[in-house]
């Protein structure tokens, strides 16, 4: 194969909940155990699935999205992976054709073959109709085949296979096993690091894939899945706008929504990353700026609120005109009070005036962009809380789907050198704007 080509498979489904993350992680683990060098990408914004996909593949997992990360960024990351990997897997988001752009749009753009995972637990002949519809719904999409998931028995598998119009497109059947699913909570999957038997769970899925012959089928068809990734003209980041700046990044179970790509950008800008754990009671490191990423402050509200020393240090950091960028969960911890879903209020760090309240329904979801310093940085939002503050918002994000009408998205609060929002930024979409988040305003160029 050419150095810029690699067998690639996009794994999608007709809808969420079909088991595509389980299958993607299991297949990555199976292929890794076969001695293959596997790289996995996640289509669209997602913090949680990549924890499992990274554990399964033994490699960092990056997000690719034609809008949020951009076409050039997608191509550059895929091409880089192709130079060293034996197999590339891409896990889709939601259903195959859901979203704008969708997983299918990505597959068509880069000529990646698509496999659909279908929960066949309550199907027989309709399985074939659904598979055929997915295959033919959008022209120019390369079709690799379909995998039947949560199948009841060998007899059920035989019925499903006979329903497929082209027998070559039936890739196998995975029998139902409740032990193979990943545990979930309100924002999605629990992180692999939280699960004691995470490795054993991946072994269980990989063994099921091997027993079904699905894994062997993929191994036999790798040559038919080869995709060539031409060199693009994406410019390398060579401006050290954060040269020698120390950025303290909160990282623990409460602040865990950190894209590896974002850390990469900060380092390429010249910054030095210093992690610390508010949950462990770590002091704020000596630093030039602070990043409080998203996560689950609501699960650890009492412990975080009791960290009075960090509260004092954050207040002092801000008063000394040193930047703080707080997104989603990081912002939630900065309010005066956090109210959990059971109505229990907890005092937090009080850097921002107001109250954040957890709720059982979504408070925000979707791709958005933030315009600051005359530039745009892209990202997304996903949260189950609302906030009320007497502080007037500095600006608002724009929803991607309605940006042409200037539809307002998440608020951005600014207090002295602190900027905070529910918005999750994808730093690589605009490194210059990213650098500005971590520089005092009077020092920005």
pLDDT tens digits, 43-99: 999 888 898 899 999 999 999 999 999 999 999 999 999 999 999 999 999 999 999
At a CB cut-off of 8 Å and minimum separation 6, what does 396 contact? 408, 409, 410, 411, 412
Tell me the fold of 246-443: Rossmann fold (3.40.50)
Q: Residue 315 burial (CB < 10 Å; 0-12/13-18/19+)?
A: middle
The yes/no answer on whether domain 5-228 falls in CATH 3.40.50.300 is yes
Label the pairing between strands 345-347 and 335-339: antiparallel
Nearest alpha-carbon partner for 420 in 323, 312, 343, 275: 323
- What whole-number distance in Å separates Cα of residue 382 and Cα of residue 427? 17
pLDDT at res. 406: 53
Torsions phi, psi for 376 (to 5 deg): -110, 135
What is the percent of the chain where pLDDT is above 70?
A: 92
User: Which helix or strand (DSSP H or E) is residue 187 part of?
Assistant: none
400-422 burial, b at 16+ Cβ within 10 Å, e below that, comes to beeeeeeeebbbbbbbbbbbbbb
pTM: 0.92
- In this structure, the dihedral spanned by the alpha carbons of residues 118, 122, 125 and 127, taken in order and rounded to 10 degrees, is -10
pLDDT at res. 408: 75
Q: Identify whether 328 is a catalytic site residue.
A: yes
The answer, yes or no, to whether residue 303 has pLDDT greater than 50, is yes
Q: Where are the domains of the chain?
A: 5-228, 246-443
The answer, yes or no, to whether residue 354 has pLDDT greater than 70, is yes
Q: Quickly state the pLDDT bin for 444 (edges 50, 70, 90).
A: very low
pLDDT at res. 236: 65
Beta partners for residue 62, in sequence order: 41
Please write the tens of the pLDDT for every residue from 142-181: 999 999 999 999 999 999 999 999 999 999 999 999 877 7
CB 269 within 8 A of CB 434: yes
Catalytic residue among 6, 328, 387, 397: 328
What is the percent of the chain where pLDDT is above 90?
A: 82
Q: Fold identical between 5-228 and 246-443? A: yes
Which of the listed ranges 19-28, 359-368, 435-444 does the model predict with the highest average pLDDT?
19-28
Question: Coil, strand, or helix at residue 34?
Answer: coil
Please write the tens of the pLDDT for every residue from 102-128: 999 999 999 999 999 999 999 999 999
Strands (E), 65-137: 87-91, 114-119
H-state helical runs in 98-184: 103-110, 126-136, 154-162
Label the pairing between strands 294-295 and 255-257: antiparallel
- How large is the average pLDDT for residues 336-353? 96
CB 225 within 8 A of CB 8: yes
At a CB cut-off of 8 Å and minimum separation 6, what does 384 contact? 186, 187, 358, 359, 360, 361, 362, 363
- What whole-number distance in Å separates Cα of residue 323 and Cα of residue 28? 40
Please write the tens of the pLDDT for every residue from 193-247: 666 678 888 999 999 999 998 999 999 999 999 999 988 766 666 689 999 999 9
């Amino acid at each position: 194969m050419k150095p810029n080509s690699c067998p690639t498979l996009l794994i999608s489904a007709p809808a969420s909940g079909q088991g595509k993350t389980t299958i993607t992680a299991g297949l990555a683990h199976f292929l890794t155990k076969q001695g293959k060098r596997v790289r996995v990408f996640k289509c669209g914004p997602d913090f949680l699935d990549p924890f499992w996909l990274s554990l399964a593949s033994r490699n960092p997992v990056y997000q690719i999205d034609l809008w949020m990360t951009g076409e050039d960024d997608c191509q550059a990351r895929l091409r880089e992976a192709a130079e060293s990997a034996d197999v590339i897997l891409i896990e889709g988001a939601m259903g195959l054709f859901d979203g704008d752009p969708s997983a299918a749009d990505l597959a068509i753009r880069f000529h990646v073959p698509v496999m659909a995972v279908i929960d066949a637990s309550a199907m027989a002949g309709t399985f074939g109709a659904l598979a055929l519809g997915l295959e033919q719904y959008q022209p120019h999409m390369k079709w690799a085949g379909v995998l039947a998931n949560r199948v009841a028995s060998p007899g059920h598998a035989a019925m499903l296979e006979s329903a497929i119009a082209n027998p070559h497109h039936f890739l196998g059947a995975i029998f139902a096993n409740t032990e193979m699913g990943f545990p979930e909570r309100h924002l999605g999957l629990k992180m692999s690091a939280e699960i004691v038997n995470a490795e054993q769970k991946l072994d269980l899925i990989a063994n099921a894939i091997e027993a079904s012959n699905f894994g062997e089928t993929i191994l036999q068809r790798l040559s038919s899945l080869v995709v060539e990734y031409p060199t693009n003209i994406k410019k390398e980041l060579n401006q050290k706008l954060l040269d020698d700046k120390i950025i303290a990044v909160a990282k623990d179970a409460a602040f865990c929504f950190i894209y590896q790509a974002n850390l990469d950008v900060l380092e390429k800008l010249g910054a030095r990353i210093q992690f610390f754990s508010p949950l462990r009671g770590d002091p704020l490191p000596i630093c030039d700026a602070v990043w409080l990423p998203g996560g689950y402050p609501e699960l650890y509200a009492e412990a975080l609120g009791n960290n009075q020393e960090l509260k004092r240090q954050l207040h002092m950091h801000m008063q000394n005109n040193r930047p703080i960028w707080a997104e989603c969960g990081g912002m939630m911890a900065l309010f005066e009070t956090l109210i959990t879903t059971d109505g229990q209020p907890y005092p937090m760090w009080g850097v921002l005036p107001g109250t954040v309240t957890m709720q059982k329904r979504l408070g925000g979801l979707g791709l958005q962009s933030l315009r600051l310093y005359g530039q745009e940085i892209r990202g997304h939002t996903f949260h189950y809380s609302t906030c009320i503050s007497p502080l007037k918002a500095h600006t608002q994000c724009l929803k991607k789907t309605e940006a042409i009408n200037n539809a307002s998205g998440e608020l951005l609060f600014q207090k002295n050198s602190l900027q905070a929002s529910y918005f999750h930024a994808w730093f690589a979409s605009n490194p210059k704007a990213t650098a500005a988040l971590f520089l005092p305003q009077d020092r920005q160029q």
